[in-house]
Chains A and B, each alone.
Chain A
Amino acid sequence: MSFLFRLAARSAWNRRFTLGLMLLAIALSSAMLLGIERIRHEVREGFSQSVSGTDLVVGARTSPVQLMLYAIFRIGGATNNMGWDSAQKLAKNPAVAWTIPLSLGDSHRGFPVLATNGNYFEHFHYGDGQALHLSEGRVFGSVFETVIGAEVAQHLHYKLGDHIVLSHGMGSLHLTDHADKPFTVTGILARTGTPVDRTVHIGLDAMEAIHLDWEGGAPMPGLSIAPALVKKFDLTPKTVTAVLVGLKNRAAVFGVQRDIADDNSEPLMAVLPGVALDELWQVVGVGENALLLVSAMVVIVGLAGLVSAIMASLGERRRELAVLRSVGARPTDIFLLLALEGLAVMLAGVVLGVLLLTLALVALGPFLSAQFGVTLHATLPAAGELQLLLWTIAAGFLASLLPGLRAYRLSLADGLTPRI
Chain B
Amino acid sequence: MSDAAIALRDISFTWPGQKTPTLALDRFDVQAHEQVFVSGPSGSGKSTLLALIGGIASAQGGSVAILGQGLDALPASRRDRFRVDHIGFIFQQFNLIPYLSILDNVLLPCQFSAYRRERALAQGQDLHAAAHSLLRSLDLAPDLWRRAVTQLSIGQQQRVAAARALIGRPEIVVADEPTSALDSDRQHAFLDLIQHECEQAGASLVFVSHDQRLAERFHRRIALNDINRCASMEDAG
Chain A residues within 8 Å of B80, by CB? 325, 328-331
Of all chain A residues, the one with the shortest Cβ separation from B51 is A415
Q: A11-B99, A323-B91 are in contact. Are A329 and B112 (CB under 8 A)?
A: yes
State the majority secondary structure of interface residues on B.
helix
Q: Is the CB of B56 within 8 A of A415?
A: yes
Which one of B51, B56, B84, B94 lies within 8 Å of A327 (CB-CB)? B84
Q: A415-B47, A415-B51 are in contact. Are A328 and B97 (CB under 8 A)?
A: no
Q: Is the CB of B91 within 8 A of A3?
A: no
Chain A residues within 8 Å of B98, by CB? 14, 320
Chain A residues within 8 Å of B31, by CB? none
Q: Is the CB of B112 within 8 A of A328?
A: yes
Which A residues lie at the B interface, using CB under 8 A? Answer: 3, 7, 10-11, 13-14, 319-320, 322-332, 415-417
B132 within 8 A of A: no
Chain A residues within 8 Å of B99, by CB? 10-11, 13-14
B89 within 8 A of A: yes
Q: Is the CB of B83 within 8 A of A326?
A: yes
Q: Is the CB of B96 within 8 A of A3?
A: no
Which one of A11, A320, A327, A417 lies within 8 Å of B112 (CB-CB)? A327
Chain A residues within 8 Å of B81, by CB? 328
Of all chain B residues, the one with the shortest Cβ separation from A4 is B111
Q: A10-B100, A14-B98, A416-B50 are in contact. Are A327 and B176 (CB under 8 A)?
A: no
Q: Is the CB of B176 within 8 A of A417?
A: yes
* Chain B: number of interface residues, binned into ranges: 20 to 34
CA distance A3 to B57 in the complex (A): 25
Q: Is the CB of B54 within 8 A of A328?
A: no
CB distance from A332 to the nearest CB of B (A): 8
Q: A415-B56, A417-B50 are in contact. Are A324 and B97 (CB under 8 A)?
A: yes
Q: Mark B75-98, 1 if CB is under 8 A from A, else 0.
A: 011001101110001010011111
Of all chain A residues, the one with the shortest Cβ separation from B16 is A413
Q: A328-B83, A415-B57 are in contact. Are A323 and B112 (CB under 8 A)?
A: no
Chain B residues within 8 Å of A10, by CB? 99-100
CA distance A415 to B164 in the complex (A): 19
Q: A328-B83, A329-B80, A416-B50 are in contact. Are A323 and B56 (CB under 8 A)?
A: no
CA distance A330 to B54 in the complex (A): 12
Of all chain A residues, the one with the shortest Cβ separation from B109 is A327
B113 within 8 A of A: yes
CA distance A415 to B55 in the complex (A): 9
Q: A327-B164, A417-B47, A417-B176 are in contact. Are A3 and B56 (CB under 8 A)?
A: no
Chain B residues within 8 Å of A329, by CB? 80, 112
Q: Is the CB of B84 within 8 A of A323?
A: no
Given contacts A326-B54, A415-B57, A416-B51, 13 further A-B contacts (CB under 8 A): A323-B108, A326-B84, A326-B91, A327-B109, A327-B112, A327-B164, A328-B80, A328-B85, A328-B112, A331-B80, A415-B56, A416-B56, A417-B91
Which of B54, B76, B98 has most A Cβ within 10 Å?
B98
Q: List 15 A-B contacts (CB under 8 A).
A: A14-B99, A323-B94, A324-B97, A324-B108, A326-B84, A327-B84, A327-B112, A328-B80, A328-B81, A328-B112, A330-B76, A331-B76, A415-B54, A416-B50, A416-B56
CB distance from A329 to the nearest CB of B (A): 6
CA distance A327 to B86 in the complex (A): 10
Chain B residues within 8 Å of A326, by CB? 54, 83-84, 89, 91
Of all chain A residues, the one with the shortest Cβ separation from B96 is A323
Q: Is the CB of A328 within 8 A of B84?
A: yes
